[in-house]
Amino acid sequence: MSGSSTVVSRELFDYVAARTHAEDPFLKELKAAAIAAEIPAIWIAPEQGAFMEVLLRSAKPQLIVEVGTLAGYSAICMARALEDGGRLISLEVSEKHADFAREWISRSDVAGLIEVRQGRGVDLMPAIQAETVDVVFLDADKQSYALYLEEARRILRPGGLLLVDNAFAFGQLLDEACEDPSVEAIRAFNDKLAADPDFDGVIVPLGDGLWVARRLS
């Protein structure tokens, strides 16, 4: 076989999604309730949630930190991969989103494993002890990604995983005419992480592009 790649077309993407472990009824119900509560439907895609759960089960995490809880969808997917005694801390700036997520997490199969802390990620991350975290997932305000990267570098243990959503910048990454500040921030972040000697990583073309990077020792 050559080293060439197959470009993931819409059709291939749908094929992948159709063959990914199906989303369970609870997560479907959570999403419907979030939409009814006028929470924006910007959670990760089901196949991305399935991928993250499979990946994290192999990583056997004891402590996961997420920035950007929204309705709790990705937190629940990731918490299902925690080792016995493990926990997930999710940081969320919106009181409405934090309250909704807490309520739905308390009804989920991972109730008691997730703590939602309300506030800005940049204010809350410094309270987390250095080199104690197995997985960091960034999925919040894109302009803070560079700051979150520094915090992730500090709190991740060597060998820990950094996951970052929206590497494809809502599909606008390669649109040169697009100067949206969030898109610009993602372009700068992608270049920064790709060149960072403390991490080795790959952008996985699922959802809106997911960085999976390992904190080197």
Ligand X SMILES: C[S@@+](CC[C@H](N)C(=O)[O-])C[C@H]1O[C@@H](n2cnc3c(N)ncnc32)[C@H](O)[C@@H]1O
Chain residues binding ligand X by CB under 6 A are 42-44, 67-71, 73-74, 91-94, 97, 120-121, 139-141, 144
Q: Between helices 25-36 and 95-106, what is the axis angle to 10°?
A: 150
Least gap, CB of 124 to ligand X (angstroms): 8
Given the complex with ligand X, which of 41 and 216 has the nearer CB atom?
A: 41
- Chain-centroid distance of CA 169 in Å reads 14
Least gap, CB of 123 to ligand X (angstroms): 8
Closest of 156, 165, 206 to residue 186, by C-alpha: 165
Residue whose CB is nearest to ligand X in the complex, by number: 68
And the tokens for 185?
């921030």
Least gap, CB of 171 to ligand X (angstroms): 14
Distance CA 124, CA 126 (A): 6
Residue type, 110: V
Distance CA 38, CA 109 (A): 24
Given the complex with ligand X, which of 93 and 161 has the nearer CB atom?
A: 93
Least gap, CB of 189 to ligand X (angstroms): 15
Given the complex with ligand X, which of 43 and 199 has the nearer CB atom?
A: 43
Least gap, CB of 154 to ligand X (angstroms): 17
Given the complex with ligand X, which of 105 and 217 has the nearer CB atom?
A: 105
Distance CA 186, CA 1 (A): 33
Given the complex with ligand X, which of 181 and 216 has the nearer CB atom?
A: 181
Hey, which bits of 42-96 come out as E strands? Answer: 63-67, 87-92
